[in-house]
Amino acid sequence: MKKFLIIFAIFVFAPLCTLAAESVVPEYVSIEYNNTFGLYQAPNEIVIYKEPDESSNLVHSISWIGSQIFPEAVKPNELFVVYLPEKNLGLLAVTDETEDWVEVIYNNRTGSRGWIKKDDPYRFMSWIMFYNMYGRKYGLRLLKESPSFVKELYSSTEENAQIVGTINVPQKINLTAIRGNWALVSVFDIDKTPKTGYVRWRSDKGVKFYFPDMK
């Protein structure tokens, strides 16, 4: 009941935050989320503690639903890795996990971290789980400033495997499977010719070159 009243109050009392109306999905290659385990689907009430213990200090409390976030000072691009307000979907980067808690980055600009008590075990997704779920649903997008070598399609998940094609101007990249740091994809390029092979979706250090083309 308390949760409902807080969310209701956001609608009634909090003015619409213009910045919050914009979706957030990674577009450029970044080292920002390299040392992370995966993503956590944020509940509408985000309560963040200093330690994985409800008796520890309360670090932050954020209420959000759709395009509205409270406090208004919280910017969606600083809070979320992925934010789709029309779907009421916000995903936080996870840096550590226990059976009952996840440590998340709640400010991407400062790198500030804190712990959220899990209210649903299925909210946490490893990166591979996330790609398998959302990459298969939406397809993949080649991030801007990706090195040219990640456009090569290989016959297998080996660096010395045969190159079977090159991605030029992809119209659609369908994900079939994730194999470690490799992704089996089917690509429809600008020439409309389908191509299939393995691409490097991330480096050995965790730098991501492709990301689910979430809309």
With b meaning 16 or more CB within 10 Å and e meaning fewer, what string describes 38-75?
Answer: bbbebbbebbbbeebeeeeeeebebbbbbbbbbeeebb
Mean pLDDT, the chain, integer? 91
Q: What is the pLDDT at residue 121?
A: 86
Instruction: List the structure tokens of 186.
Output: 């089917």
Long-range contacts of 103-112 (CB under 8 A, 24+ apart): 103/52, 104/40, 104/48, 105/36, 106/46, 106/48, 106/59, 106/60, 106/62, 106/79, 107/78, 107/79, 108/32, 108/77, 108/78, 108/79, 108/81, 109/78, 112/59
Please state, in angstroms and as integers, the Cα–Cα distance from residue 6 to each residue in 12, 13, 191, following that order: 10, 10, 52
Element (H, E) at 4: helix 2-13
- Distance, in Å, from the CA atom of 163 to the CA atom of 81, rounded to the nearest integer, reads 32
Q: What are the pLDDT digits (tens) for 157-199?
A: 998 999 999 999 999 999 999 999 999 999 999 888 899 999 9
Residue among 137, 146, 144 at smallest CA distance from 199: 146
Distance in Å from the first CA to the final CA of the chain: 32
Q: What are the pLDDT digits (tens) for 24-58?
A: 999 999 988 888 999 999 999 999 999 999 999 99
- Distance, in Å, from the CA atom of 21 to the CA atom of 26, rounded to the nearest integer, reads 16
Q: What is the pLDDT at residue 159?
A: 87
Q: What is the percent of the chain with per-residue pLDDT over 70, rounded to a whole number?
A: 90
Q: What is the pLDDT at residue 133?
A: 96
User: What domains can you pick out in the chain, each with its CATH number?
Assistant: 2-119 (no CATH), 128-212 (2.30.30)
Residue 39 CA to its chain's centroid (Å): 6
According to DSSP, the residues that pair with 112 across neighbouring strands are: 107
Please list, in sequence order, all residues whose beta carbon lies within 8 angstroms of the beta carbon of residue 141, skipping any fewer than 6 positions away. Answer: 173, 210, 211, 212, 213
Q: What are the pLDDT digits (tens) for 78-107?
A: 999 999 999 999 999 999 999 999 999 999
Confidence band (pLDDT; 50, 70, 90) for 215? Answer: confident
- Distance, in Å, from the CA atom of 164 to the CA atom of 46, rounded to the nearest integer, reads 46
